[in-house]
Amino acid sequence: MRPHLKMLERSLIERILDETFTVLESTGILIDSPAGFERLRELGLPGDDATRRVTFPRSTVERAIADAPSAFTLFDRSGEPFTELAGDRVHFVPASSALRILDRSSGEPRDATSADFVEYARVADRLAHIAYLSTAFIPKDVPSDIADGWRLYLALATSEKPVVSGAFTSHGVPRMAEMMSLFRRDREDLAARPNSIFTCCPSTPLRWAEDAIQNLLDCAGWGIPIEVVPVLLLGMISPATTVGALVLHSAEVLSGLTIAQLVRPGTPVLFGGAPASFHMQLMTNPMTAVEALQVYCGYAAIAKHLGLPCQAYMGLSDSKLNDPQAGAESGMGMLLAALAGFNSVSGPGMLDYVNCFSLEKLVFDDELAAHALRFTRPVEVKDDLPTRPLLDELLRENHLLTAEHTLERWPEELYLPGPMIDRTNWEQWDLQGRPDSTARAGELIETALEDYDVPPLDPALDAEIRRLFSSTCNEPGVELPALVERR
Amino acid sequence: MPDYALMNQRVFEGDRESVAEMTRAALEAGRPPLEVLEDGLIAAMRVVGEDFKYNRIFVPEVLLAARAMKAGMAVLQPLLTSSEGDSSAGTIVLGTVKGDLHDIGKNLVGMMAEGAGFQIVDLGTNTSAEEFIAAVREHRADILGMSALLTTTMVYMKTVVDEMRAAGLEHVRICVGGAPISQAYADEIGAHGYAADAGSAVQLFKRLVAPSAPPA
Ligand code: B1M
């Protein structure tokens, strides 16, 4: 059996869902965009002109849940199947869209450049337990209106792996989708072989803002897999308690899922989220708060109950540095995410309330991901039941180091962590020059950069994409940065 | 003499009905409206501010107290002369800049500032320079407060600062805040103040409208 976190009784899940359907059917969702509101009415959702709220009949939502795939495949840059988001299969992914990065030499946060992004993408591409990439932060050396698409281009140009991304404006998705379709035969081929998941965020409570609804409609129109990510702040814009929060959260996710299915039945939708607590003194939004972790694991259970793939912002930290708090929060989040069976876990690399990305943290989190994934391996009988023959051998030989069972099993059973987890004894560590975790992370980053060997984009394709950006941005003809890493 | 200490206590507890009633009773007893305002309501909010600053109370208590104070204000307002009515700490036009839909932080700033006696004109999210300027003019605002959460929208703050100047509104103090904003950025774009959180935003607003504040 695969170790699994059981958080909610089936009967409670059903009560939460009943209430969720009632909220959707009676309170409904505010659509903060006249065009978006009209479009949803055209799609058949009842809407009130005066309040611009649409409601979701239970049967419509249930049909949408049935239409939404319970699993889907992400493809690589060249269109080969890369991985399946299905069942309890867990993928750890760098968290998305930081405002700044933690500079490796000064240890201070600063604005990022395209070169920083290329460096990040090269490292992330090499990490064994980081399943695919995200557009982790925003380079500030390009016009701001193309920054969202530009970072996706940098990711696609640097790595063949899929990318979690998203648009920053109401017109952002079409340009990004056009670009992705250049890697496929045509638009339909992109929908059939998607390379990216896009984040779409409702505005809690129970609202889709103008940009967000347009992004959602556009993503579904293009058949781009969507993660619907509400950000509840417990006690502020959400009930402070878990069950109430789960109702609100589920209503928002299912509103997005239903809209996506009405636009294009079969669009992959992840039951996502980034719930946070609200700090009643500091007014901050800790996503790593222990009560928020309970909401995460709770909605994973609801998603599983509905047979939907799920996503979470877990494995990040609210600390400003790669300190014990960062390790503890990230480790706790990642282990819980793995136990809950989240299919896509956005968190590695992120500090400071999703505001600051650290490459050193990413390589540390790669190790934590390895640990979390190993913990969820099924516990099975492996020639060790009955156990007495093994124990007899142990008593006879005083050890099992050379036993046939050990020789055959230990390489698979006993995990040797990489350098980020220090397993030396004091003397060994002292002899090695007492390397701290920052130094060890630095070495791993350098190794990853040296090992990087992804073929560059076809020059004609590359030129076409760059033309797309330079011709459609606010500063037409602007010289866009070359693809070099920061050394 | 009204029991102002008890009235302060009721404000502190967020007891709207009692505060409104005690305000009415004080007026009926012939006390001057300005005295009731100062000793009954503002004095209580000063303690609330201090207690919050030193972590003795939390956000909900501050907002409850502010609500109770408003209930008292509603009784007083019609009796205050227009200049006394202006004894509100000042008027702030507040909004999240164009292209940006984040409003949680901005709302908190508004609520806390209202609690401290400011009049808030909240323009919501996705606010253009024209909308800011029109509201500043209409409400004769003392302060324009802008919030931005995206690296891609923060740049619009500079547009607003420039257009405020071009519109001849140099005398209005401009404050900025939000996760990507810093004091250095505020200085760079020519804003008069930056605050990292709602508590310090209120302190900043108070400093900027104080009679001793340096001219903009
Ligand atoms: C006038 O003077 C002042 C003075 C002080 C002022 C002030 C004004 N304004 C604020 N302050 C200060 O006082 C407040 C109280 O103490 C503080 O306000 P804050 O707002 O900082 O703090 C609040 C109390 C709590 N914090 C928050 O409310 C913001 C939290 C984070 C997680 C966040 C949230 C909640 C949301 N988001 Co958005 N979001 C993030 C945020 C990351 C972060 N931690 O900042 C950020 C800002 N978002 C981001 C993104 C990418 C996006 N978001 C989006 C949407 C959303 C939600 C709708 C889900 C939701 C907003 C809901 C709402 N009604 O506001 C999208 C943008 C939509 C748009 N056009 O605006 C979208 C583009 C996602 C998408 N793909 O759709 C990232 C920015 C990336 C960048 N580089 O610019 C981000 C850093 C998270 C991330 N890493 O992805 C101070 O800053």
Residue A91 lies in a domain: yes
Residue A414 lies in a domain: no
Q: Are A283 and B150 in contact (CB < 8 Å)?
A: no
Residue A186 lies in a domain: yes
- Residue B58: which of A145, A280, A353 has the nearest Cβ? A280
| B137-163: average pLDDT | 97
State the smallest CA–CA distance between residue B152 and chain A in angstroms. Answer: 5
Residues of B in contact with A210 (CB under 8 A): 101, 126
B contact test, residue of A96, A137, A168, A200 with most B CBs within 10 A: A168
A contact test, residue of B57, B62, B104 with most A CBs within 10 A: B104
Residues of A in contact with B126 (CB under 8 A): 210
The Cα A429–Cα A307 span in angstroms is 48
Helix axes A10-22, A242-263, angle to 10 degrees: 60
Q: Are A282 and B125 in contact (CB < 8 Å)?
A: no
pLDDT of res. B77: 85
Facing residues of A137 across strands?
A98
Please report where in the chains the tokens 């899922």 appear, as a residue.
A257
State the smallest CA–CA distance between residue B140 and chain A in angstroms. Answer: 29
Coil/strand/helix, residue A386: coil
- A398: CB partners within 8 A, 6+ apart: none
Residue A330 lies in a domain: yes
Residue A389 lies in a domain: no
The Cα A345–Cα A376 span in angstroms is 15
Q: Are A147 and B151 in contact (CB < 8 Å)?
A: yes
pLDDT, greater one: A330 or B46: A330
pLDDT of res. B1: 80
Structural tokens at position A404? 């046939």
- CATH number of the domain where residue A45 is located: 3.20.20.480
Residue A173 lies in a domain: yes
What confidence tier does B82 reach under pLDDT thresholds 50, 70, 90? low
Find the domain containing A483 and state its range. 1-379+425-487
Residue A141 lies in a domain: yes
**Amino acid identity at A127:** L
The b/e string for B21-30 (b: 16+ C-beta within 10 A; e otherwise) is bbbeebbeee
Span B4-81: which CATH code? Answer: 1.10.1240.10
- Residue B59: which of A99, A283, A355 has the nearest Cβ? A283
B contact test, residue of A278, A280, A287 with most B CBs within 10 A: A280
Please state the domain extents for chain B. Answer: 4-81, 91-209
Structural domain tally of chain A?
1
Structural tokens at position B9? 């206590």
Q: Are B60 and A280 in contact (CB < 8 Å)?
A: yes
State the smallest CA–CA distance between residue B35 and chain A in angstroms. Answer: 32
Burial class (CB in 10 A: 0-12, 13-18, 19+), B159: middle
- B14: CB partners within 8 A, 6+ apart: B61, B64, B65, B67, B68
Q: Are B151 and A144 in contact (CB < 8 Å)?
A: yes
* pLDDT tens-place values along chain A, 487 residues long: 999 999 999 999 999 999 999 999 999 999 999 999 999 999 999 999 999 999 999 999 999 999 999 999 999 999 999 999 999 999 999 999 999 999 999 999 999 999 999 999 999 999 999 999 999 999 999 999 899 999 999 999 999 999 999 999 999 999 999 999 999 999 999 999 999 999 999 999 999 999 999 999 999 999 999 999 999 999 999 999 999 999 999 999 999 999 999 999 999 999 999 999 999 999 999 999 999 999 999 999 999 999 999 999 999 999 999 999 999 999 999 999 999 999 999 999 999 999 999 999 999 999 999 999 999 999 999 999 999 999 999 999 999 999 999 999 999 999 999 999 999 999 999 999 999 999 999 999 999 999 999 999 999 999 999 999 988 888 887 889 988 776 6
**Strand (E) positions, A363-477?**
none
Span B91-209: which CATH code? Answer: 3.40.50.280
Structural tokens at position A349? 């690399």
- Residue closest to A256 by CA, chosen among A219, A289, A306: A219
Contact A127, A362 (CB under 8 A): yes
Residue A287 lies in a domain: yes
- Residue A99: which of B104, B151, B197 has the nearest Cβ? B151
Task: Note the pTM of the prediction, 2 decimals.
Answer: 0.95
- Residue closest to A256 by CA, chosen among A237, A240, A269, A242: A269
Residue B85 has pLDDT above 60, yes or no: no
pLDDT of res. B83: 55
